[in-house]
Amino acid sequence: MQNKVNKPSAQKGNKKLIYIFTVIILAAVILVMVIPTNNQAPEPPREETKKPPVQKEGEVYFADTAGVSKIKIDVEIADTDYDRSLGLMYREGMSELQGMLFVFPYEDRLSFWMKNTIMPLDMIFINSKREIVTIHKNTTPYSEQSYPASAPAQYVVEVVAGFCDRHNITTGDKVFWR
């Protein structure tokens, strides 16, 4: 009697080895793609996360303590939780006479940061009597440093860095809007 070689059984074994080998190669490729290979700084925001320029939704007027007008700017208004949390993040710039007015429901100890904010800003904290209580000038882009108000505030206006110095905006000045 002769021994017969079972060819279909040998083919099944080869297919099984090829399948296992393919799975191992795919797993290695996926690991290489998923595991970070360096400690580079985070990428700047992608095009789809960048926000449009400031949209005019109102006007803010700055005046001295006697009510004498200093300057008027156009503002976008952030009066919802979502808009206030997003603020000027991802904006690439704005003009000298633009800004953002943050409106809170009540006066409180407010604090802002610059996370994901590309441009340096002046932050102007305003109380419920519409008097400037704190100014933080030339804040640091992308910083998670806290910029708190020195007294309770209900409103904040953010403008380009240097605005307060160029237009002599100081603590105690009055702020009006419509």
Domain CATH code at residue 165: 2.60.120.1140
Q: Which secondary structure element, helix H or strand E, spans residue 17, and what is its range?
A: helix 7-34
- Percent of the chain at pLDDT above 90? 68
In whole angstroms, give the CA distance from residue 81 to residue 88. 14
Domain count, the chain: 1
In this structure, the chain runs to a length of 178
DSSP-derived secondary structure letter, 49? G
Residue 84 lies in a domain: yes
What confidence tens digit (pLDDT) does each residue in 101-138 have?
999 999 999 999 999 999 999 999 999 999 999 999 99
Quick check: pTM over 0.85? no
What confidence tens digit (pLDDT) does each residue in 27-59 have?
666 655 555 444 444 444 454 456 678 899 999
Residue 24 lies in a domain: no
Residue 121 lies in a domain: yes
